[in-house]
Amino acid sequence: MDKTKLGSVVTSIDRGVATIEFYHPAHNSLPGKLLTQLAGAITQAGENQSIKVIILKSSGERTFCAGASFDELIAIKSFENAKGFFLGFAKVILAMRDCPKLIVGRVQGKAVGGGAGIAAATDYCMATQFASVKLSELAIGIGPFIIGPAVERKIGLSAMSQLAVNATEWQTAAWAKEKGLFTEVFDTTAQLDAYLETFSEKLAGFNPEAMRELKKVFWTGTAHWNDLLDERAAISGRLVLSDFAKAAIEKFKGKD
């Protein structure tokens, strides 16, 4: 079975709050198909006038997002396809930037690589104590080039560098809160969801124009990201085709 064809992205709307939920059986990893669907769902929610605020979440009780699909990465043979894959993550981040609605992240478990990048690209992110974070890209022969700007924007260059260089070690949810990636950390998913429901309902009652203008302030200085992320995708695309990266990814796949 081609695992890159599996997974789903589902949007539900309730009282002005849109919940975008993604799922993949391999620890909520994101193959290109799901990245395209996720970017599209975010854009559509931003254009829907009945939606006031967006919650971004993944399915299940464990991993929030394992990042890039190893099955897809190992199958890539050309630079064009490699760059195109990494542009999938860029398009999600840019869709989140360009969405005029505030996006609240719900991170119930571990966030790896691109998963940490997606969490960082939300405007407000809540988590449980189980939401450890790691940027593992350097350990598989590439680097967090696409998601780096989003992570740096949220936690600063020093903390992002720590994650990027120490690519095999998890940082705790408490660490992520201290650095500014998470705003709240709860003991259980039930507590997270209870707070998130109340919080999102309050947000949905605020002035949409004020929230739209506030979001512009949050993303000040990112207008050049379209070109920047295209350049970064080219770097990742070139590196992932190397013998080093191919061998490292195969090794990581064997641990699944």
The residue extents of the domains of the chain are 3-191+207-253
Q: What is the pLDDT of residue 1?
A: 54
Q: What is the pLDDT of residue 254?
A: 65
Q: What is the pLDDT of residue 2?
A: 61
Strand 111-112 with 102-107, pairing:
unpaired
Q: What is the pLDDT of residue 255?
A: 63
Q: What is the pLDDT of residue 8?
A: 96
Read off the pTM. Answer: 0.95
Q: What is the pLDDT of residue 250?
A: 87
Q: What is the pLDDT of residue 140?
A: 94
> What kind of architecture, by CATH, is found in domain 3-191+207-253?
Alpha-Beta Complex (3.90)
Q: What is the pLDDT of residue 3?
A: 65
Residues of the chain with pLDDT under 70: 1-4, 254-256
Q: What is the pLDDT of residue 6?
A: 87
